[in-house]
Amino acid sequence: MSAPDPIEVLVIGAGPVGLTMACELKRHGVAVRIIERREKALYHPNAAIVHVRTLEILSAMGAVDGFLKEGYPFPGVSLHAFGKPIGSIDLHGIDSPFPLPRTIPQHETERLLNEHFERLGGRVERSVEALGLEQNSSVAKVRLRYLAENNREETVTARWVVGCEGSGSLTREACEIEFTGERYTGKEFLQTDATLRWSFPHGPGYQFLTKDYVLFLAAYNDQGFYRIICARNDANPENQEPPTLAEMQALVRKIADPNAELLDAKWFNRFRTGYRLAARFREGRAFIAGDAGHVHIPIGGQGMNYGMHDAFNLAWKLAAVIKKEAHPQLLDTYTAERHPTDAALVRGTDHGFHLLVKPHVAVQWGLRLLGSMVIGMAAFQKRIRETLGEMKVAYPSSTLSKDYGGSFGPAAGDRAPDGIVVRLPEQKTLRLFEVMHGTRWTLLLFAGHQPSAVHIEALERLSASVAAPYGTRLAIHLVLCGTPPVPVHENWAEDVLMDRDRHLHDKYGVDTAPCLYLIRPDWYVAFRGGLPYQPQLAAYLGRVFT
């Protein structure tokens, strides 16, 4: 009897990261198996915020609608320090089709991703545990235990494995990837999801800082249902019991409002934390993503979000290599891009811990004296907004980013901005993100503010020259300023996007001269250059695509 065909990709763990990975591989047309040792989804609201860039990613995946419907648009955080209000962080103002983050409990995020996976024709295999992993240069062998079948064991062969098992990752351990960091001592964190009656208006989030406590409340709605997290001195490090309603209420009363009442609590949690980062995210045919590669304090609510970004970054690359559309070296860019990004997040949360949770006396005085002034500064607000929204994540030094200037807008490696366009010939008004939806790369040929016939003809020749070899992997669009019907060259074979009020040209910083923007399937700029850089664009495409 011949051996069964290897599984193309085996994803281990159906948390938010494994589910994102499986959904994306499926969308890119790759055969994927995803296993999860838990019999049923858990009620665990842990990650309560889905940030702006994650919503953009979910829209690229075709999965954002449920999050927009069920998540609460979180408007900002009112800040109080040492008994006084010191200002607020206003989260409005991010330039995105989804400008506000959404609060939604993690188990709902997992449910929505699971439903999306099933819509794509997938199914999570539950009660299946991975026990061991070995690999050679052509396959990985994973030992599985079927918990619902008398613990039957089987060794399966997979061409690729993605370990999304959380912080105790089997894949990471089997690959002997170091996972180092620091455990914070002296502080414990208590959490609940509950309804709160108090004197503050419902709707925004709140943060209260005192000498010994940090209390953070994220609103799930404008009716008073909150995620409540309190950090305080750890009087009994052995205590693992979840806090009680009375304990949480006493904390809210002590720190924020002496008349506060807590009711209808859905969940309690006590934890101590620290940070750890894997030395790399790949070993041969095995990758790790999400908490398997990085864990840290949940300041800013980024952990799950960054994990989902890991999966989103890896999935299209793995799919392109499996489908033989790209060279295997493309896979090296996963660690190269995501490791520094996740390391920066880990460092940022560590600074956050020392600034907010365990602040030095000097920092406390700095906050007392300068806190409201700094918070009131527009530049500070913008920075916080964009950092929390994950809008500044970029891969400028990736080998996938080639930049030759040509505009005042985003450079290679930056997030590709959205904008409204009218697509010809059907004259349909669309967002650029809708135009880019799909699994292909996008080549935007900006004609400039005053397109000349010479420029249009040059762009047309360029389009024809790249469409022939790469047309199935590349969607090519001419972007023209003006209102239809601006005379478009009648031989133009690809989509034309009319940029009526030059908004898209302005967002991409394109002036009078044409500019070429190549966008990756994960909506980051791969290549930027003026018309004279056509040969470099051709060389780039030749290098990336087989």
**Contacting residues toward ligand FAD, per CB under 6 A:** 12-18, 35-38, 46-49, 106, 129-130, 164-166, 170, 191, 269, 271, 290-292, 298, 301-305, 307
CB of 356 to ligand FAD, least distance (A): 15
State the maximum Cα–Cα separation within the chain, in Å, rounded to a whole number.
77
d(CA 32, CA 21): 9
CB 238 within 8 A of CB 230: no
CB of 94 to ligand FAD, least distance (A): 17
Q: What are the residues whose beta carbons fall under 8 Å from the beta carbon of 272, sequence distance 6 or more?
A: 183, 184, 185, 187, 188, 189, 234, 237
Would you say 293 or 521 has its CB closer to ligand FAD? 293
CB of 274 to ligand FAD, least distance (A): 12
Would you say 291 or 494 has its CB closer to ligand FAD? 291
φ, ψ for residue 63, nearest 5 deg: -125, 15
Beta strands at 282-283 and 286-288: parallel, antiparallel or unpaired:
antiparallel
CB of 110 to ligand FAD, least distance (A): 8
Q: How many CB atoms lie within 10 A of CB 47?
A: 23
Would you say 291 or 337 has its CB closer to ligand FAD? 291
Beta strands at 32-36 and 261-271: parallel, antiparallel or unpaired:
unpaired
CB of 42 to ligand FAD, least distance (A): 7
- Start-to-end C-alpha separation, the chain: 35
Residues pairing with 233 in the sheet: 187
144, two tokens? 């599985």
CB 391 within 8 A of CB 53: yes
CB 293 within 8 A of CB 303: no
CB of 36 to ligand FAD, least distance (A): 5
Would you say 393 or 459 has its CB closer to ligand FAD? 393
CB of 13 to ligand FAD, least distance (A): 3
Site of tokens 């500070």: 380
Would you say 141 or 323 has its CB closer to ligand FAD? 141
Would you say 304 or 319 has its CB closer to ligand FAD? 304
What residue is closest to ligand FAD based on CB? 15
Site of tokens 């011949």: 2
Would you say 192 or 305 has its CB closer to ligand FAD? 305
Would you say 46 or 407 has its CB closer to ligand FAD? 46
CB of 358 to ligand FAD, least distance (A): 18
At 377, the amino acid letter reads M
CB of 471 to ligand FAD, least distance (A): 36
CB of 59 to ligand FAD, least distance (A): 18
CB of 14 to ligand FAD, least distance (A): 6
CB 129 within 8 A of CB 152: no
Would you say 299 or 537 has its CB closer to ligand FAD? 299
d(CA 38, CA 13): 9
CB 141 within 8 A of CB 135: yes
CB of 514 to ligand FAD, least distance (A): 40
Would you say 106 or 442 has its CB closer to ligand FAD? 106
Number of helices and strands in the chain (H, E): 14, 29
d(CA 75, CA 101): 8
Would you say 189 or 208 has its CB closer to ligand FAD? 189
CB 378 within 8 A of CB 500: no
Would you say 14 or 321 has its CB closer to ligand FAD? 14
> 45 preceded by cis ω (within 30°)?
no
15, two tokens? 């948390």
CA 63 centroid distance within chain: 13
CB 406 within 8 A of CB 530: yes
Would you say 15 or 71 has its CB closer to ligand FAD? 15
Taken as a whole, the chain contains a residue count of 546
Q: What is the 3-state secondary structure (H, E, C) of 332-375?
A: HHHHHHHHHHHHHHHHHHHHHHHHHHCCCHHHHHHHHHHHHHHH
CB of 449 to ligand FAD, least distance (A): 41
Nearest to 384 by CA among 348, 427, 438: 348
